[in-house]
């Protein structure tokens, strides 16, 4: 079946088991953070998972080529973006595995069962909604700023969906780390694992990958830092492995 593309859309090869995704160059396209988060998720076989703020659907689609999960529910508040994600799911014939829900994640419990998910994943907006004039209907702004949801909304929703000892995975910015840790514990998601991502060895981190466990015991492990570029400006060996590319 031929996939019809709309204005400004293109199909991108994800270089993973033949998976592809539809992107709109005028909207917020997925980036390295989504790929790194997907790789960081240690999803167990037959898990039921939720992706909060799925955008293009990149995380559940890419995860389908890496992990043997049972079902993914991917929440996206923007109608046009959710519709595009649904077409990407159909493009990969994953309709039985991934369900795109065009809903506000704050309403998740009206559609999804409380305390029933093995894992919840989120690549949420990073920026506080208090910096300059922001168009509340701008798709890029909604993806980058906490316009439609806050960090607390994401974490509280994840906590409500997860079953006992269920896992929460998130990528965010280091300058929000204090907020993240406080909110995780507020909603009984115990931080268990963290990895700092640096552009290069001499640079400060610009991303963090976090795993938390619902009602888990206190014990935080630090993974080795991930450096994106080497001294020559090429991807490091770690990044090539994440992308499945031979150096």
Among 87, 207, 208, 77, which residue's Cα sits nearest to residue 142?
A: 77
Written as tens digits, the pLDDT of the chain (247 aa) is 567 788 788 898 888 888 999 988 777 777 889 999 999 999 999 999 999 999 999 999 999 999 999 999 999 999 999 999 999 999 999 999 999 999 999 999 999 999 999 999 999 986 655 555 445 544 444 444 344 679 999 999 999 999 999 999 999 999 999 999 999 999 999 999 999 999 999 899 999 999 999 999 999 999 999 999 999 999 999 999 988 877 6
Dihedrals phi, psi of 172, to nearest 5 degrees: -155, -165
What ranges do the domains of the chain cover? 9-243
How much is the pTM? 0.90
The CATH-assigned architecture of domain 9-243 is 3-Layer(aba) Sandwich (3.40)
CA distance 119 to 52: 11
CA distance 88 to 86: 5
């Amino acid at each position: 079946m031929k996939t019809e593309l709309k204005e400004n859309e293109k199909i991108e090869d994800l270089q993973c088991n033949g998976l592809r995704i539809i992107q709109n160059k005028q909207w917020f396209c997925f980036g390295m953070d989504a790929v790194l988060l997907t790789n960081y998720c240690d999803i167990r076989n037959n898990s039921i998972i939720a992706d909060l703020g799925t955008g293009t659907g990149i995380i559940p689609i890419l995860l389908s080529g890496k992990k043997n999960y049972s079902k993914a529910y991917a929440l996206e508040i923007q109608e046009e973006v959710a519709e595009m994600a649904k077409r990407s799911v159909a493009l990969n014939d994953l309709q039985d595995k991934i369900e795109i829900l065009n809903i506000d994640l704050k309403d998740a419990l009206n559609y999804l069962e409380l305390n029933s998910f093995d894992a919840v994943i989120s690549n949420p907006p990073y920026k506080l909604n208090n910096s300059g004039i922001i168009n509340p209907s701008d798709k890029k702004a909604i993806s980058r700023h906490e316009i439609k949801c806050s960090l607390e909304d994401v974490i509280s929703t994840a906590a409500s969906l997860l079953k006992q000892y269920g896992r929460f995975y998130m990528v965010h910015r280091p300058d929000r780390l204090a907020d993240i840790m406080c909110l995780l514990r507020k909603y009984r998601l115990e931080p268990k694992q963290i990895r700092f991502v640096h552009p290069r060895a001499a640079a400060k981190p610009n991303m963090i990958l976090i795993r938390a466990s619902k009602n888990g015991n206190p014990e935080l492990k630090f993974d080795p830092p991930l450096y994106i570029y080497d001294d020559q400006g090429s991807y490091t060996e770690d990044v090539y492995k994440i992308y499945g590319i031979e150096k």
